[in-house]
Chains A and B, each alone.
Chain A
Amino acid sequence: MSEDVHLSQICMDFGSFRAVNNVEVTIKSGEFFSFLGPSGCGKTTILRLISGFMDPTGGAVKIGGKDMKGIRPNARPTALIFQNLALFPLMPVWENITFGLEVRGVAKEVRRAKAEELLQLVDLHDSADKKISQLSGGQKQRVAIARALAVEPKVMLLDEPLSALDLKLRQHMRAELRAIQKRTGVTFIYITHDQGEALAMSDRVGVMSQGVLQQVATPQEIYNNPVNEFVASFVGENNVIGGKVKSVTGGIASFETAKGTFSAKLGPNVAVGDVSKLFVRPEFCSLGSSTDAKENSIPVEVTEIAFEGNFVNVFVRDGSGDTHMVQVQNDPATPPPALHTTCHMAFNPSSCMILSEAVNGRSGH
């Protein structure tokens, strides 16, 4: 039987404040799904709704087709890994890991064996009898994962579990988590405000803002075809140009701005005559000589060059004083234009989009 997690039009109100607004998504069994969004957008609230610490004020949480309303966390097939891990400091590592089995009345020898097995799985040998306080941050992380896996959950819920770790360890644990998920086949619902993390680990990402799920799609789709301004600017960098949609032919719109008229893909919820914004990623822009002016190009002057190693960020200023960023590969054979030279910034119509504002979940409630 499939153990899909279906959030059916869920809303969560705290008094008059709507923390989660009409979220509708189905997370497939065995999927690695991330909720990505800024602080306070309602990510943790969604996780607590799924794990059962509260019931939604509207809509329903369904796991495997079954409405979970009124079912406490201890009776749901989910296991939550807390933002601060919440390991039990008074129990040794192995008792922590098998706490879920202990409360189910599993005999001590069986539990001990299970603990050893799970410690192997998370790559932590010889730590069964250690105290929690004797572990490093990354080791605690693994114990928390093992403790959640011990109860053989259908769905694993992870609330920014890597945010407290340093960069190196975080990258290592990303790969580790992903590997554990593949090995066990458990559905992972992962929460993060780190776009890199979400894009790198997930099968699908749900981008949230102000309690509203703005877009659910694969990482590529989220990055290349964001549905609105919020998604575009929260995930990745953009150059933004304001203007008005003049006409549309075959999905490509003619966009009139103070810097000239551009061709760009028309995003959802934008129509002819709308005042809107055009978004283009820095790596989709190129810099050419002033003479070969073509479609979608703006005359600019190079104001700053930031060398980042494998690529170079070139900052340019256009005639109206706005700064844009162009990202080019680091290649000694074709160096970027020198500082203060004038040139043209150009971009392909198929790699830029005209997008509408985000859906706001909290006003008008």
Chain B
Amino acid sequence: MQELIRRYGIGLSVVMAAMTAFWLFALVVIPNLVLFKFSFRVYLPVDQLGGPNDVYTLKNYLTFFTSPIHINVFFTTILYSSLVTGICLMITYPLAYVLAKVLKPTDTATFFLILLIPLWVSEILRSFAWFIILSNQGPLNALLMGIGLIDKPIRWISGYQSVIIGLVYAYILFMLFPIYNAISALDTNQIEASEDLGASMWRTHWRVVIPHSKPGIASGCVMVFMLCAGSVIVPSTLASTSSRWFTEIIQQWMFEGLDWNVGSAYAFLLLALCIVFVSLVMRLLNVRLVDIAK
């Protein structure tokens, strides 16, 4: 803070601090507190507001625990979010390693540009593009049949397949960047020292590169998992008849049932359980929150 004042002067520093505070409180904390309060209130017709029925209650939360379908969708969401996180990690780690340590810096820059350009298009359009790509008569099936890999179209949009593909595509960069940063920060001599001492490539990754990049990996995983579990657009655009995402249920409560109270309760349950899940996994992998924030 003193550094900030020294560099920008007191006036500009106050403006910057005020803007950060505004962002944090007006746009994050206060709306969430309002929703949090909502989640303990009863959904009532307007004329009963303030009446004897307008009380604080846990009923909204109990709705979830007494509804097996919702519980099922919830755990399915967690499961497939974890799966997407895992797939992203599998794809990203080798890619990040190659980008950080194998390619020349100029090639890396080009590669990142190519990766980033699709982000200029909105998420809805990108999801819809995948809907077209994956459709029965779509380009993917045409390509696979064209090169003779399959002889009749695959129904990509069934079960959770299409949702998983869409989510991997949507959030993979959130995994790539932290891991890329972590591996870039690793001194190349350490990798070479490991090899020089006799380690195989696998061993070098296991003992040197992965331990070093663990904070980056954890950070990427948390981010992708949270984004997946909270994603609305991708699971609804690429939904098949048999896929349901927990956010869709929240959305139904709020915008179809118009019951913001149960909707908020569900949203907070999702948040709370995701935090619990993430903390458990972090405890298991022995990474701390401060490492991730770096």
Interface size class of B (residues with CB under 8 A): 10 to 19
In the complex, A182 has a CB within 8 A of chain B: no
Chain B positions 182 through 215: 1 when the CB is less than 8 Å from some CB of chain A, otherwise 0: 0000010110111111111001000110011000
- Which of B192, B207, B211 is the one whose CB lies under 8 Å from A99? B207
Decide yes or no: A100 and B198 within 8 Å by CB, A88-B208, A90-B211, A90-B212 being known contacts: yes
Instruction: Tell whether, in the assembled complex, residue A79 and residue B189 are in contact, meaning their CB atoms are under 8 Å apart.
Output: no
The answer to whether A74 and B197 have CB atoms under 8 Å apart is yes
Interface residue count on the A side (C-beta < 8 Å) = 26
Cross-chain contact A78 with B196 (CB below 8 angstroms): yes
Report whether B195 and A86 are in contact in the complex, using a CB–CB cutoff of 8 Å: no
> In the complex, how many angstroms separate the beta carbon of A85 from the nearest chain B beta carbon?
8
CB–CB B196/A80 < 8 A: yes
CB <8 Å contact, A74 and B207 = no
Q: How far is the CA of A264 from the CA of B193 in the complex (A)?
A: 50
Shortest beta-carbon distance from A209 to chain B in Å: 26
1/0 per residue A62-75: CB within 8 Å of B? 00000000001111
Select from chain B the residue with minimum beta-carbon distance to A102.
Answer: B207
Does A74 lie within 8 Å of B200, measured CB to CB? yes
Looking at the assembled complex, report how far the CB atom of B71 sits from the nearest CB atom of chain A, in whole angstroms: 41
Q: Are B197 and A79 in contact (CB under 8 A)?
A: yes
Q: In chain A between 36 and 94, which residues have their CB closer than 8 angstroms to a CB of chain B?
A: 51-53, 72-75, 78-80, 82-84, 86-88, 90-91
List B contacts of A80 (CB < 8 A). 192-193, 196
Q: Is A147 an interface residue (CB 8 A)?
A: yes
* Interface class of chain B by DSSP: helix
Residues of A within 8 A of B193 (CB): 80, 82, 86-88
When A and B form their complex, what is the total count of cross-chain residue pairs whose Cβ atoms lie within 8 Å? 60
CA distance A87 to B196 in the complex (A): 12
**CB atoms of B197 and A147 under 8 A apart:** yes
| A151 and B197 in contact, given A90-B211, A90-B212 (Cβ under 8 angstroms) | yes
Q: Output the nearest chain A residue to B206 by Cβ-Cβ distance.
A: A103
> B81 CB to closest chain A CB, in angstroms?
30
The answer to whether B192 and A86 have CB atoms under 8 Å apart is yes
Contacting residues, chain A, for B194 (C-beta < 8 A): 88, 99, 103
Option from A79, A83, A91 in Cβ contact (under 8 Å) with B196: A79
For A10-36 the 0/1 string (1 means CB < 8 A from B) is 000000000000000000000000000
A84 to B192, CA, bound (A): 12
**Could you list 19 further interchain pairs (A-B, Cβ under 8 angstroms) beyond the known A78-B196, A82-B192, A100-B198?**
A51-B196, A53-B192, A73-B192, A74-B196, A74-B200, A75-B198, A79-B197, A80-B196, A84-B187, A86-B189, A87-B193, A88-B190, A88-B194, A88-B207, A90-B212, A99-B199, A103-B200, A103-B207, A104-B198
A–B pairs, 20, beta carbons within 8 Å: A52-B196, A53-B196, A73-B196, A74-B197, A80-B193, A80-B196, A84-B187, A84-B189, A86-B190, A87-B193, A88-B190, A88-B193, A88-B194, A90-B211, A91-B207, A99-B194, A102-B207, A103-B203, A104-B198, A151-B198
